[in-house]
Amino acid sequence: MKLAKSLQNIKPSYIREILSAANSQGIISLAGGLPDQASFPLSLMQDSLSNLTNHPSLFQYGSTAGYAPLLEYFKQHYQLPSSHEGLVCTGSQQGLDLIARAFINPNDKIVMEAPSYLGAIQVFGLAQAKIESVSQQADGPNLQELEACFAQGGITLFYAVPDFHNPTGVCWSLAVRQKVAQLCQQYDVTLIEDVPYRELRFSGEEIPLVSNFCPDHSLVLRSFSKIATPGIRLGLVTGRADWITPLNTVKQAADLHSSIPMQAVLLDLLQHKEFPDHLERLRKLYRERCQTLIDNITHQLPSYCRINKVEGGMFLWLLLPDCNIDALAKAALTSGVAVVPSSVFYQETNCTTSALRLNFTNANEEELAEAVQRLAKVIKEHC
Ligand SMILES: Cc1ncc(COP(=O)(O)O)c(C=O)c1O
């Protein structure tokens, strides 16, 4: 069979492709966005999991929008306005896909920061959208570029990860959030606010969601992969009811509904009295690992390697002098450390930054130190 046109220009995910190589014996992986497995809150889920068999109705077909008690919890917990609804999806990745299918026609213009989350580049590529890139600064997108882009007209949506961006770790300032919200309202552009790392703030002050400043011009995507476990594959889209309804229609066609037993387990977990302690422990662990990685980079890598300090999330963005970053990442893998080159996070050949995305949540402190030592040799050879 011939490949559909929509698939012909889509690169398979570099990260998913090297995941098996990265998991080989002797390789230390800073490549995937994997949470620390030893910290999965399985003990808090245990009663709920073993109780499932007492509730056969949870194993019946369920509602597309999600398990009703969980949806009710979300409405309260996230203080959704009465005109807004939630839709539980199979990971926030599915939420993004549903949005693209419901609201994007081929050649529609959408805006993203560059660099950007690879999974979003793939989704918008499959939807055959025209992606307009806006450069990213230390406190969020370049606002002049963003306004110029919006002012051309015909922009369907602006996709953004304002909290601890993947891949750069950047967190938007309050002023940038307010300005972006104002621009979305002024130019009637919908913001897709993707916040899978929001609960992983380990320093600094919490900043309101951008959507708080433009609730009727935004959809929020949340993920439970990083604070519960990725394997339960649960996420949430919230926003205006008239925008959630079409997402529900697309989801009916995609998979009918997400796993109801897992949604029941998630609800128990989120309401567990020890869940806040679990989050606190996770933040502390990630703060320590992040600091270990920074200390090792500072002591072991040449001074031309630069990093932005991050206040949360899972990644550091290591900026290098101009070099063949793909060759460097390959050489790093051969030397026993898996990292992701910056080229992966840009559309086609737009990558002008030589950088590596380094994950600090999955390797322990000794492994992080050893990984940087291996990386140091490769960087000195390539830069
Ligand atoms: C920015 C961003 N959005 C969405 C996702 C997908 O998350 P989920 O596991 O909820 O599908 C990820 C995963 O790493 C991500 O980094």
User: DSSP string spanning 22-39?
Assistant: HTSTTPEE--S-PPPGGG
* Among protein residues, the one whose CA lies closest to atom 6 of ligand 1: 93
Q: Based on the domain organization, do 54 and 163 belong to the same domain?
A: yes
Q: d(Cα 317, Cα 279) in Å, to the nearest integer?
A: 24
Q: What is the pLDDT of residue 16?
A: 67
- Whether the Cβ atoms of residue 73 and residue 204 lie closer than 8 Å to each other: no
Q: Is the pLDDT of residue 341 over 80?
A: yes
Q: How close is the Cα of 91 to the center of ligand 1, in Å?
A: 7
Q: Based on the domain organization, do 368 and 257 belong to the same domain?
A: no
- Using alpha carbons, select from 309, 314, 280 the residue that is nearest to residue 295: 309
Q: Based on the domain organization, do 265 and 281 belong to the same domain?
A: no
Q: How close is the Cα of 123 to the center of ligand 1, in Å?
A: 12
Q: How close is the Cα of 312 to the center of ligand 1, in Å?
A: 15
Model confidence pLDDT, tens digit, residues 73-128: 999 999 999 999 999 999 999 999 999 999 999 999 999 999 999 999 999 999 99
pLDDT band at 350 (very low <50, low <70, confident <90, very high): low
Beta bridge partners of 315: 359
Residue 29, amino acid:
S
Q: Based on the domain organization, do 146 and 265 belong to the same domain?
A: yes
Residues with CB under 6 A from ligand 1: 33, 91-93, 117, 119, 161, 166, 194, 196, 223, 225, 230, 235
Domain end marker among 271, 298, 325: 271
- Whether the Cβ atoms of residue 356 and residue 329 lie closer than 8 Å to each other: yes
Q: Based on the domain organization, do 142 and 54 belong to the same domain?
A: yes
Domain end marker among 271, 286, 318: 271
* Among protein residues, the one whose CA lies closest to atom 16 of ligand 1: 166
Residues 6+ apart with CB under 8 A from 156: 103, 104, 108, 109, 110, 129, 189, 190
The number of the ligand 1 atom at minimal distance from the alpha carbon of 33 is 14
Q: Is the pLDDT of residue 153 over 90?
A: yes
Q: Based on the domain organization, do 159 and 23 belong to the same domain?
A: no
CATH number at residue 351: 3.90.1150.10
Among 20-29, 97-106, 136-145, 222-231, where is mean pLDDT lowest? Answer: 20-29
Q: What is the pLDDT of residue 23?
A: 77
Tokens of 103: 């609201």
Q: What is the mean pLDDT of residues 327-342?
A: 95
Q: How close is the Cα of 303 to the center of ligand 1, in Å?
A: 32
pLDDT band at 25 (very low <50, low <70, confident <90, very high): confident
Residue 317, amino acid:
W
Q: Based on the domain organization, do 355 and 213 belong to the same domain?
A: no
pLDDT: is 267 or 7 the higher one?
Answer: 267
Domain count of the fold of the chain: 2
Q: Based on the domain organization, do 46 and 30 belong to the same domain?
A: no
Give me the helices (H) in the chain, please. 5-8, 14-22, 42-51, 68-77, 91-103, 118-126, 143-151, 174-186, 241-255, 260-271, 275-300, 325-334, 365-382
Q: How close is the Cα of 302 to the center of ligand 1, in Å?
A: 32
Q: How close is the Cα of 56 to the center of ligand 1, in Å?
A: 31
pTM: 0.96
- Using alpha carbons, select from 1, 22, 10, 17 the residue that is nearest to residue 358: 22
Rg (CA), the chain: 21
- Using alpha carbons, select from 329, 340, 339, 346 the residue that is nearest to residue 136: 346
Q: What is the pLDDT of residue 5?
A: 81
Residues 6+ apart with CB under 8 A from 381: 331
Q: For a ligand 1 pocket test, name from 117, 118, 193, 198 the mutation site with the most ligand atoms within 8 angstroms of its C-beta.
A: 117
pLDDT band at 238 (very low <50, low <70, confident <90, very high): very high
The number of the ligand 1 atom at minimal distance from the alpha carbon of 224 is 10
Q: For a ligand 1 pocket test, name from 124, 223, 259 the mutation site with the most ligand atoms within 8 angstroms of its C-beta.
A: 223
Q: Is the pLDDT of residue 21 over 80?
A: no
Q: How close is the Cα of 169 to the center of ligand 1, in Å?
A: 14
Query: Average model confidence (pLDDT) for the chain?
Result: 95
- Whether the Cβ atoms of residue 29 and residue 360 lie closer than 8 Å to each other: no
User: What's the gap between Cα 356 and its chain centre?
Assistant: 17
Kindly tell me the burial class for residue 151, based on how many C-beta atoms sit within 10 Å of its own C-beta (0-12, 13-18, 19 or more): exposed
Q: Based on the domain organization, do 225 and 294 belong to the same domain?
A: no
- Using alpha carbons, select from 128, 185, 134, 126 the residue that is nearest to residue 159: 134
The number of the ligand 1 atom at minimal distance from the alpha carbon of 117 is 1
Q: What is the mean pLDDT of residues 278-287?
A: 98
Q: What is the mean pLDDT of residues 355-374?
A: 97
Q: Based on the domain organization, do 164 and 60 belong to the same domain?
A: yes
Domain end marker among 230, 255, 271: 271
Q: How close is the Cα of 334 to the center of ligand 1, in Å?
A: 28
Q: What is the pLDDT of residue 263?
A: 98
Q: d(Cα 17, Cα 27) in Å, to the nearest integer?
A: 15
Among 9-18, 28-37, 106-115, where is mean pLDDT lowest? Answer: 9-18
Q: How close is the Cα of 120 to the center of ligand 1, in Å?
A: 9
Beta bridge partners of 112: 133, 159
- Whether the Cβ atoms of residue 208 and residue 64 lie closer than 8 Å to each other: no
Q: Is the pLDDT of residue 291 over 70?
A: yes
Q: What is the mean pLDDT of residues 129-138?
A: 96
Residue with tokens 């996230």: 78
Q: What is the mean pLDDT of residues 11-29?
A: 77
Q: Which structural domain range is residue 304 located in? A: 5-40+276-382
What is the SS3 assignment for 324?
Answer: coil
Q: What is the pLDDT of residue 24?
A: 82
Residue with tokens 């194993």: 59
Q: For a ligand 1 pocket test, name from 166, 172, 227, 263 the mutation site with the most ligand atoms within 8 angstroms of its C-beta.
A: 166
Q: Based on the domain organization, do 33 and 53 belong to the same domain?
A: no
- Using alpha carbons, select from 316, 302, 322 the residue that is nearest to residue 356: 316
Q: What is the pLDDT of residue 228?
A: 98
CATH number at residue 130: 3.40.640.10
DSSP-assigned letters across all residues of 55-123: -GGGGS---TT--HHHHHHHHHHTT--TTEEEEEESHHHHHHHHHHHHH--TT-EEEEEES--HHHHHH
Q: d(Cα 83, Cα 102) in Å, to the nearest integer?
A: 20
Q: Is the pLDDT of residue 349 over 70?
A: no
* pLDDT over 90 percentage in the chain: 90
Q: Based on the domain organization, do 209 and 316 belong to the same domain?
A: no
